[in-house]
Structure 1
């Protein structure tokens, strides 16, 4: 794991808490839109695409095909991380963030106008997969840039809380997407299949306009500005991450795995398992993710504050071990088919995962020096995402091979949790710090 562990420049970067709050807020708004768009697909894969875009397949095969299409977006994310990492580390964090938000907003809106299988045949799932690919490319660059620009505008001692603010974009995106689907599920089944499911996707267009307006007001990172001034940028930063910081990259992947993969096991897979295998009403399953998303917001803030005291690596370790311990009881509770039990299980599972997920941004940005940071953070998070995107598919396959016994999915969640626990343990020891002067401190008496 030998690689350069600190930035090449020593001149301090000037930041202020006021700017940090404003930039983190703007990063949060854009990230919330990104996750709204991205999570819509996951819910639709479990409830819509398996029936309307893979009509010629039996129920199990259609669900597997829908989740495979869902996974395509995750497979594309490392490519997006590579491309936008180059843009972010060479030309600026800001331009990369503007491009990604347009890509995902347009791709999501277009899904809302796609014809289904009965209308155009095999062209329907092909077009669906292409738009999912565009989503994946955009998200591959979005999160890494958002958390990087938020952290680089923040004082060192408060970076974890501002990184956590960006992470709130995930539950808010879940809340918006689940709420949108909960509303359209109130429609008669015929209306929902005909046009109702399209409305949440079409809603991406006006949301894109709002987020883009806010993103245009974001200034470039002062850390990146210093890199430009001191000519410390590299031509292909992603290659240097693979060749000179590969050990840190492996730690980043492990540390991020539970926050992404565990989340999709407790939402996308559980929605499919509950509605398709247990026969629970679809509305109950979607509402469970809705309640969990509401509770996840204060937990994210709380975990970010704890990370400032104990360190993001230790919080990652703690959250991962708790999730591993709770995995089997959570699935036993889901198996009761009791609506209250299901909501409780999904909520508790998401809250435990959030202990690690909330601090992922703080930990990953501390693993890489500024000239490799956008690429390193984006690659670490999205390589974990590429693995995670296929976890619902793997869990569904395990479920089928075990005779629809939930222990197989619980065991998968335990394995993911333990990998992240190791990432948190090692990551805490590898953290590095930028040279930062806080403007608020400069104004106060010495």
Structure 2
């Protein structure tokens, strides 16, 4: 293992600037592909999956069941985080990233080939749930690996920016998924329901091949090589993280949970809210989400750049304050049923989310030393995902059914942001520009 790493990384013979560029491109592209696959499911869950996989239930129950399978993808993330975190801290970042990309690509294509309830009965929801679970495992290893391999190839002056690059993959993945979905939604008759929805899933295979070609040219990071050369590797990195860095895990989870809850509501549940509660056409929300995601790409890029000038922790706190201020106006604007105001609500929501999403990466990754960074980042990020985004659409569905008002969901978002601000006080990012 050490010999392989030394063969891959010869510090005196590396074009560091070139590897930094490859790392940045690889992280953005890989993250985009993974999130395209993951978000594609979320989009289809709001539009068509209740009819395809849970047709025997009333609309409310079918939506709950569909978003339950969505939540399962988040529940699986910590499992993927533990497994790939162990692999990433013991063998290397690159191996884990190649594995997660292959797994994500295969499961996404299989979802696109899956027969519906009308063809195979109860096996349809069972199989889609299993595949969703495997998707979650792959994401559990992808995010921390992408962040680390980009950040650890960065220099002292741009590590924060490099760490945020994979975050751009989230809106890019959402843009791709939403754009392709919008294209096929326009099919006439029942073409979209019978075969059109499958094409976006199957197209994922081409993106995966491209991502693999780029990642094969990426070397292991200097930080990981230094760990191999100078430090005895822990037998079980996961246990070492829990034992030696519990404060970093707990504070990191709750300081970042609001961003996932906000995204789960803004990016996914809003479409369901608009269709079922407001009685509006789904294309309004799909297109508004697409525009919001486009703007978020720029917003994340700018915020990532600023994170090297200002402490990422302060930027994250500012984002949570903005979230508190926008939670109520968001649903007020949606309730107007005005297309222009709906677009405004969603676009501003995406910009606010960007101010939390961009600094999240350096805040979490910089909380752990290099020899436990993959496992620590994976555990922290994935636990916040389970508590936050995984259940956000499900909880939002329940709150709307219970209180018949979107403002109940606003209260849910505000409470999460207040908890995040409190937890942020205990976050320590002393490894921000270290190694």
> Shorter-chain-normalised TM-score: which range?
over 0.9
Q: Is the 8 A contact 1:15 1:153 kept in 2?
A: no
Shift of 1:188: 2.1
* C-alpha displacement of 1:256: 2.6
Maintained 8 Å contact 2:367/2:431 = yes
- Name the structure 1 match of 2:397: 396
- How big is the shift at 1:160? 1.3
Alpha carbons of structure 1 residues 309 and 26: separation in structure 2 relative to 1, 3 Å: same
TM alignment of 1:15-414, pairs within 5 A: 16-387=16-387, 388-403=389-404, 405-414=405-414
Tell me the distance in 2 between the aligned counterparts of 1:370 and 1:32.
25
Counterparts of 1:258 and 1:188 in 2: how far apart (Å)? 39
**C-alpha deviation, 1:434, in angstroms:** 5.8
CA contact (8 A) 1:37 1:201 kept: yes
- Kindly indicate whether the alpha-carbon contact (under 8 Å) linking 1:251 and 1:423 is maintained by their aligned counterparts in 2: yes
Give the superposed CA RMSD.
1.6
Q: 1:235 to 1:287 in 2, by over 3 A?
A: same
1:205-253 Cα offsets, whole Å, 9 max, x none, are: 1111111111111111111111111243111111111111111001211
- Cα contact 2:159–2:433 (8 A) shared by 1: no
Residues of 2 paired with 1:212 and 1:18: CA distance?
A: 18
Contact persistence 1:256–1:380 (CA under 8 A): no
TM, length-normalised to structure 2: 0.94
Give the direction of change, closer, same or farther, for the CA distance of 1:300–1:284 in structure 2 (3 Å limit).
same
What is the deviation of 1:424? 3.4
Tell me the CA shift for residue 189 of structure 1.
4.5
Match of 2:84, SS state, is helix
Aligned residue for 1:441? Answer: none
Q: Which is further off, 272-281 or 171-180?
A: 272-281
Q: Is the 8 A contact 1:363 1:431 kept in 2?
A: no
The Cα shift of 1:25 comes to 1.2
Q: Distance in 1 between matches of 2:432 and 2:190?
A: 56
CA–CA distance in structure 2, aligned partners of residues 303 and 131 of structure 1: 34
Give the Å deviation of 1:260.
Answer: 2.1
**Aligned partners of 1:162, 1:423: CA distance in 2, in Å?**
25
Distance in 2 (CA, whole Å) between partners of 1:359 and 1:37 is 23
1:274 offset after TM fit, Å? Answer: 0.6
The C-alpha deviation readout for 1:99-145, integer Å capped at 9, x for no partner, is 00000011001101100011111000000001001100000000001
Alignment CA distance shift 1:316-1:189 (3 Å): farther
**2:40/2:177 contact within 8 Å kept:** yes
| Equivalent residues of 2:90, 2:233 under 8 A apart | yes
Alignment check: 8 A CA contact 1:171 1:293 kept: yes
How far residue 17 of structure 1 moved from its aligned partner, in angstroms, is 4.5
Unaligned 5+ runs, structure 1:
1-11, 437-446
Count of residues in Structure 1 that have an aligned counterpart in Structure 2? 423
Where structure 2 has 5 or more consecutive residues not aligned to the other structure, the ranges are: 1-10
**Aligned counterparts of 1:348 and 1:434: Cα–Cα separation in 2:** 31
Distance 2:391 2:125 in 1: 18
Q: What residue number does 1:444 align with?
A: none
Q: In 2, Cα distance between the equivalents of 1:24 and 1:102?
A: 19
**Match of residue 6 from structure 2:** none
Deviation at 1:18, TM superposition (A): 4.3
CA contact (8 A) 2:324 2:413 kept: yes
TM-superposition CA deviations, 1:244-279 (whole Å, max 9, x none): 111100121123323322111101111110112111
Structure 1 residues 15 and 233, CA, compared in 2 at 3 Å: closer, same or farther? farther
Give the Cα separation in 1 of the matches to 2:417 and 2:433.
30
Asked whether the 8 Å contact 1:143–1:378 carries over to 2, the reply is: yes
How far apart are the structure 1 equivalents of 2:277 and 2:356? 29
Asked if the contact 2:71–2:390 (Cα under 8 Å) also holds between the matched residues in 1, the reply is: yes
Which residue number in structure 2 is paired with residue 5 of structure 1?
none
Q: Are the counterparts in 2 of residues 318 and 421 from structure 1 also a CA contact under 8 Å?
A: no
Deviations 1:174-225 (A, max 9, x none): 0000001111111124111111111111111111111111111111111111
Q: Determine if contact 1:27/1:150 at 8 Å carries over to the other structure.
A: yes
